[in-house]
Amino acid sequence: MKKEEIKRRKYSDEFKWRVVHEVLSGNLTKEAARRVYGIKGKSAVLNWLRKFGGIESRNLAELQPLSKQEEKLRMKELSEKDKRIKELEAELSRERLRADLWQKIVELAEEQLNIDVRKKFGAKPSIPSKKTGGKQ
């Protein structure tokens, strides 16, 4: 099919809100809403959810689409969250390396110095000295 033959259908905001409301209320899935309302675009409902879904009120009369400025702010917040997630993942990776390093140090100390650094599970407590009379 040629591009000039593809006709994009325009949906009103009211229609989009109705579909989003149906999905958010749990009456329909995104795919079911697409079929029920005859929406051709496979990601149209998902895009509408992203645009209109962040508003708490479920009353269709009260809902207003996000302004361009609000949408930019929301996208900025999402990108900041993504950035924070990446920072935390990097920090977690460093801490795992650090833990592995300490584990290796303990293993080497036990091996080379012939001492038990780690407490063994189920180890018996030490016997108190007779000189201290059982006090520690």
Please tell me the pTM assigned to this model: 0.37
Percentage of the residues of the chain whose pLDDT score is greater than 90: 13
For the stretch 24-53, pLDDT in tens is 888 888 888 888 888 888 888 888 888 877
Spell out the domain ranges in the chain. Answer: 10-65, 67-115
Q: Is the pLDDT of residue 57 over 50?
A: no
Higher-pLDDT residue of 86 and 54 is 86
Greatest mean pLDDT among 10-19, 64-73, 116-125: 10-19
For a pLDDT cut of 70, what percent of the chain falls above it? Answer: 73
Q: Which 3-state string (H, E, C) describes the chain?
A: CCHHHCCCCCCCHHHHHHHHHHHHCCCCCHHHHHHHCCCCCCCHHHHHHHHHCCCCCCCCCCCCCCCHHHHHHHHHHHHHHHHHHHHHHHHHHHHHHHHHHHHHHHHHHHHHHCCCCCCCCCCCCCCCCCCCCCCC
What would the mean pLDDT of 46-63 be, rounded to a whole number? 65
Judged against a pLDDT cut of 60, whether residue 70 lies above it is answered with yes
